[in-house]
Amino acid sequence: MKLPPNSLFAILLRSPWWFSALLVVGFVLLSRLLLSDEYWKFGAVGAFPFVITAVLALKRQLKAPKVSTINTQIEALRNMPWPQFSEKIVQSLTQQGYTIAKLQSATGADFLISKQDQKIVLAAKRWKAANLGESELHQLNKAKQFHKADGAWYITVGNVSNKAVLFANKNQIELLQDALLVQRLPLV
């Protein structure tokens, strides 16, 4: 089950783990101050979801690559030619259990990947572009519709315009860049 992106728990999972831990402490202290001696423990139990959130956020953050690792890998990706980069994508996705089909570049997507019953179109050929605009995402969205895909991924190591981010969010296009790219597709 995927959390709505702006729900409290989704925001806390993206935040430093200690935000949730502070909420736990605050919840327990407020319960102690506002409830009678026999009931404050029951009020404090309300902090339990935030304990779980803190643990999950901590686990994610411990697994996340360091900023220096991300920068090194992104720089290595920028220096790769397309044939080598596309081969790295195929190897990484194959190791993760995806089936990969290369598409004609005129379709707006470079690969159609599938795993179990899920199909995803992936665009990566312009990964080195300094700026990603909305037009490239329009093409990817058309490819998503044409191939009746469940999702779409766009790989970029450049900057993404605000309009492109809004378009991507509206059309369920996942932008793989920086830390997310290094985590999702270990290419180097």
| pLDDT tens, position by position, 110-144 | 999 999 989 999 999 888 888 888 989 999 999 99
Residue type for position 161 = S
State residue 106's pLDDT score.
66
What CATH topology corresponds to 67-184? Answer: Trna Endonuclease; Chain: A, domain 1 (3.40.1350)
| pLDDT tens, position by position, 28-45 | 999 999 999 999 998 899
**DSSP line for 104-141:** -GGGS-SEEEEETTEEEEEE-TTTT-SEE-HHHHHHHH
| pLDDT tens, position by position, 66-78 | 888 888 888 888 8
Domain ranges of the chain: 8-63, 67-184
- Over residues 151-172, the mean pLDDT reads 91
Select the more confidently predicted residue: 101 or 2. 101
Instruction: Please determine, for residue 57, whether its predicted confidence score (pLDDT) is greater than 90.
Output: yes
State residue 99's pLDDT score.
94
Q: How many CB atoms lie within 10 A of CB 167?
A: 20
State residue 141's pLDDT score.
94
